[in-house]
Amino acid sequence: MPETKPVLMQGNEACALGAINAGVRFYAGYPITPSTEVAEQMAARLPEIGGVFIQMEDEIASMAAVIGASIGGMRTLTATSGPGFSLKQENLGYAIMAEIPCVVVNVQRMGPSTGVPTAPAQGDVMQARWGTHGDHPIIVFTPASVYESYYLTIAAVNLSQKLRQPVIVLLDEVIGHMREKVTIPEGKLMVEKSSDKVPSDWKPYDEKGLTPLVPFGFGHYYHVTGLFHDQYGFPTGDPPQVERALDRLHNKLEKYRDEIVLTNYIGHKEPRVAIVTYGCTVRSARAVVKKAYWQNRLPVGLLSLQTVWPFPAKEIEALAKQADVIIVPEMNMGQLVGEVERYARGEAKVVPLNRYDGEMISPDQISEEVGRWL
Amino acid sequence: MEQLTQDFLRTKKLPHIWCPGCGNGIVTAALVRAIERTGFDQKDVVIVSGIGCSSRAAGYLNFNTLHTTHGRALAFATGLKMARPELKLFVIMGDGDCSAIGGNHFIHSARRNIDLNAIIVNNHIYGMTGGQHSPLTPTGKKATTAPRGTLEPSFDLLELAKGAGATFGAKGNAAQPRQLEQLIIRAANHKGFSVVEALSPCPIAYGRRNKLGGAVDMLRDMKEKSISVEKAANLDEAELKDRTVNGVLYAIDAPEFAESYYHSIGKEIG
Ligand SMILES: Cc1ncc(C[n+]2csc(CCOP(=O)(O)OP(=O)(O)O)c2C)c(N)n1
Ligand code: SF4
Ligand SMILES: [Mg+2]
């Protein structure tokens, strides 16, 4: 594929560009630092290409509008940060339940509450998993660079469409605002158009498995609701049907697990000390591995998680069998470390490394911890 | 009463969940007849609803139907209308759904003057949750959460909408379903944000507690109090006390949001 010249771009801009290149033509949002650039990019670009940009009255409405537009057949995205992400939760759950595709970007800032709006943090990892009520499945990507912000947004849009499942892109203030050179591959991306051309026995929630969403307005009359529903979308409270419907939501993620769960390992083949992290903290960890392994050949490695939910359990299990110690640096008080511990199953010692003062975890901090266990 | 168009009803989903004597069925039937009279293509019609007894109507209507979250129906509808401006959207909401939790979306839909037809089934109470007061419960009336009568003043929903920018406002009631049907037709044919407030009896969660009698009494009272806009024009304030003015209260010509947006990006709708 021919490549264009590298361009200097911000993570938030890359996210917006990824969305547009993946066929997103509808954006609804409400301004909030540090995510506003995504909205501003969309406001500038979408009208030029026949898309819809709308600034809604709040984040609840933004989430609702995005779902409404998806049901109309558009690819949609909304971006926000902590307080706005909290407001989106009820309707996010609706989209999961009703199986309406959409992408929600949360550029994390320091919380709780209004917190430090301009300071980076990774405090919304558990909220991204469990923010909306009920036993729901969710997909969450955590880009660690401007380029990852671009391509993980594309992956989010496509997976969301394919699985009829909302996908969260969990950026952080560092990646969102950082400028990096990125090379965007040229050429047209394949964007499948949603269509009304479906078999006559099409059902919106077919018990036999996933069916494509047929947008409203094409003469396929069905019901969409946040209530538990049967395969035609009509409410049901019948226990076996309820159970089946909830299994259905989880099963589709399990079935496509390998397309969803993205991780990357660098470093020693048989590490004694491994680092597991995600988002902007990957950058500091990478610097540590460069020095410890590439320069000094120490048995150190880094498993970076582009997907944090569904949790990369298999990958952690395998890593724990090799490493003696797994260090989990996070810019929070310890969120994903609990999952790592759970899937390490006692095979490796799991050590949290946390920072929550609104500053990044430095390579020195990580390397000091690594040194302690070598 | 004449037969409803079976095509527009999901007869297999009946009987409905509403209590005997509930006005929701009457309002829903008026809506169905109105849609039929507009001559809209069935595939272009979308019913959006919030959460509440009245919002369950969506499930019984054979169109593309979207039963959303409590208070948010207009926000969902805004997204859908902007994505597919050629569709005809009817948004059914309860009084609580529309004016309490959904109040923000209501005023902003009005402000945008987006072409949605809001049908508010005003039974003056939270029916589904068993009779709590809503912003449209008249002062002094009792509710489970206002056992001694609510002290709060209520909204004048149509004035609120007008102040916020709505360009069509009409009031009808379940006791005069033919008129209600006509009002919905006019709302549907109006370009811009249309509000139809339909007074509707909830004998179970409102009437009983306030000693308003059964459904028949409530409907009779509704009819007796109602006075048309035309007749009301000749009466003074004192004469209009305790009366509800029915009919089209305003119909204003103003730019519609979806059309303005598509025009601004050089695209034709449809
Ligand atoms: C976020 C949220 N809060 C509360 C509820 C509970 N709830 C369901 S319906 C309803 C009120 C319904 O009253 P109204 O809108 O007047 O509709 P009606 O049942 O009277 O037709 C409430 C409070 C809910 N479903 N969601
Ligand atoms: S509670 Fe009231 S509004 Fe709800 S179905 Fe019964 S009568 Fe109708
Ligand atoms: Mg009510």
Domains of chain B: which residue ranges? 6-262
Which one of A25, A27, A59, A71 would you mutate to disrupt binding with B, by most B Cβ within 10 Å of its Cβ?
A71
The conformational region for residue B130 under phi > 0 = left, psi -120 to 50 = alpha, else beta, is left
Q: What is the pTM of this model?
A: 0.98
Q: Is B96 in the pocket of ligand 1 (CB under 6 A)?
A: yes
The bound ligand whose nearest atom lies closest to the alpha carbon of B94 is: 1
Q: Count how many Cα atoms sit within 13 Å of the Cα of residue B3 in the half-sphere of its side chain.
A: 6
Q: What per-residue confidence (pLDDT) applies to A205?
A: 97
User: Quick count: other Cβ atoms within 10 Å of Cβ A262?
Assistant: 18
What are B68-121's pLDDT values in tens digits?
999 999 999 999 999 999 999 999 999 999 999 999 999 999 999 999 999 999
Which residues 32-71 of B have a C-beta within 8 angstroms of A?
42-44, 46, 48, 58-59, 62-69
Nearest CA to ligand 1 atom 11: B126
Which one of A49, A60, A216 would you mutate to disrupt binding with B, by most B Cβ within 10 Å of its Cβ?
A216
Residues of A in contact with B72 (CB under 8 A): 60-61, 64, 91
Number of H helices, E strands in chain B: 10, 8
Nearest CA in chain B to A233: B59
Nearest CA to ligand 1 atom 7: B129
Share of chain B above pLDDT 90, in %: 96
Q: What per-residue confidence (pLDDT) applies to A198?
A: 83
Pocket test for ligand 1, best of B92, B122, B126, B137 (most atoms within 8 A of CB): B126
- Say yes or no for a CB contact (<8 Å) between A56 and B75: yes
Closest ligand 1 atom to Cα of B98? 15
C-alpha B52 – ligand 1 centre gap (Å): 5
Q: Domain A1-260 in CATH: superfamily?
A: Thiamin diphosphate (ThDP)-binding fold, Pyr/PP domains (3.40.50.970)
Question: Is the Cβ–Cβ distance between A172 and A118 less than 8 Å?
Answer: no
Helix pair A313-322, A337-344: axis angle to 10 deg: 60
Confidence category of residue A195, pLDDT binned at 50, 70, 90: low
What are B29-67's pLDDT values in tens digits?
999 999 999 999 999 999 999 999 999 999 999 999 999
pLDDT above 80 for A196: no
Q: What per-residue confidence (pLDDT) applies to A48?
A: 97
Q: Which of A28, A224, A225 sits opposite B79 (nearest CB)?
A: A28
What are A79-130's pLDDT values in tens digits?
999 999 999 999 999 999 999 999 999 999 999 999 999 999 999 999 999 9
**Domains of chain A: which residue ranges?**
1-260, 263-373
Interface ipTM > 0.90: yes
What are A260-279's pLDDT values in tens digits?
999 999 999 999 999 999 99
Confidence category of residue A3, pLDDT binned at 50, 70, 90: low
pLDDT above 70 for B137: yes
Pocket test for ligand 2, best of B60, B136, B202 (most atoms within 8 A of CB): B202
Partners of residue A266 on adjacent β-strands: A302
pLDDT above 60 for B265: yes
| Nearest chain A CA: its distance from B109 CA (Å) | 9
Confidence category of residue A194, pLDDT binned at 50, 70, 90: low
pLDDT above 70 for A2: no
Residues B125-147 have a mean pLDDT of: 98
DSSP state of A331: S
- Say yes or no for a CB contact (<8 Å) between B75 and A60: yes
pLDDT above 60 for A1: no
User: Which of 3.40.50.2300, 1.20.120.1200, 3.40.50.1110, 3.40.50.970 would CATH assign to domain B6-262?
Assistant: 3.40.50.970
Residues of B in contact with A58 (CB under 8 A): 104
Q: What per-residue confidence (pLDDT) applies to A190?
A: 67
Q: What per-residue confidence (pLDDT) applies to A4?
A: 73
Residues of A with CB under 8 A from a CB of B: 26, 28, 47-48, 50, 52, 54, 56-58, 60-62, 64-74, 76, 90-91, 94, 215-227, 234-235
What are B156-166's pLDDT values in tens digits?
999 999 999 99
Q: What per-residue confidence (pLDDT) applies to B1?
A: 47
| Nearest chain B CA: its distance from A129 CA (Å) | 21
Q: Are strands A52-55 and A24-29 parallel, antiparallel or unpaired?
A: parallel
What are B243-259's pLDDT values in tens digits?
999 999 999 999 999 99
Confidence category of residue A193, pLDDT binned at 50, 70, 90: low
Q: Supply the CATH classification number for the domain A263-373.
A: 3.40.50.920
C-alpha B131 – ligand 3 centre gap (Å): 8
Residues A64-88 have a mean pLDDT of: 98
Q: B200 in contact with A at a CB cutoff of 8 Å?
A: no
Q: Which of B66, B72, B86 sits opposite A71 (nearest CB)?
A: B66
What are A134-168's pLDDT values in tens digits?
999 999 999 999 999 999 999 999 999 999 999 99
Question: Is the Cβ–Cβ distance between A205 and A232 less than 8 Å?
Answer: yes
Read out DSSP for A191-222? -PPP-S---TT--TT-TTS--PPPPTTSS---
Where is average pLDDT lowest: A51-60, B8-17, B245-254? B8-17
Confidence category of residue B260, pLDDT binned at 50, 70, 90: very high
Nearest CA in chain A to B266: A50
Q: What per-residue confidence (pLDDT) applies to A192?
A: 65
Q: What per-residue confidence (pLDDT) applies to B268?
A: 86
Q: Which of A47, A65, A217 sits opposite B78 (nearest CB)?
A: A65
Can you tell me whether residue A353 is helix, strand or coil?
Answer: strand
Residues of B in contact with A218 (CB under 8 A): 43
Q: What per-residue confidence (pLDDT) applies to B4?
A: 64
Where is average pLDDT lowest: A51-55, A336-340, B10-14? B10-14
Q: Count how many Cα atoms sit within 13 Å of the Cα of residue B8 in the half-sphere of its side chain.
A: 22
Residues A25-54 have a mean pLDDT of: 98
Sign of the CA dihedral A74, A80, A82, A88? negative
Confidence category of residue A356, pLDDT binned at 50, 70, 90: very high
Question: Between the CA of residue B137 and those of A149, B93, B205, what are the distances in Å?
Answer: 50, 15, 12
Closest ligand 1 atom to Cα of B123? 20
Residues of A in contact with B17 (CB under 8 A): none
C-alpha B95 – ligand 3 centre gap (Å): 5
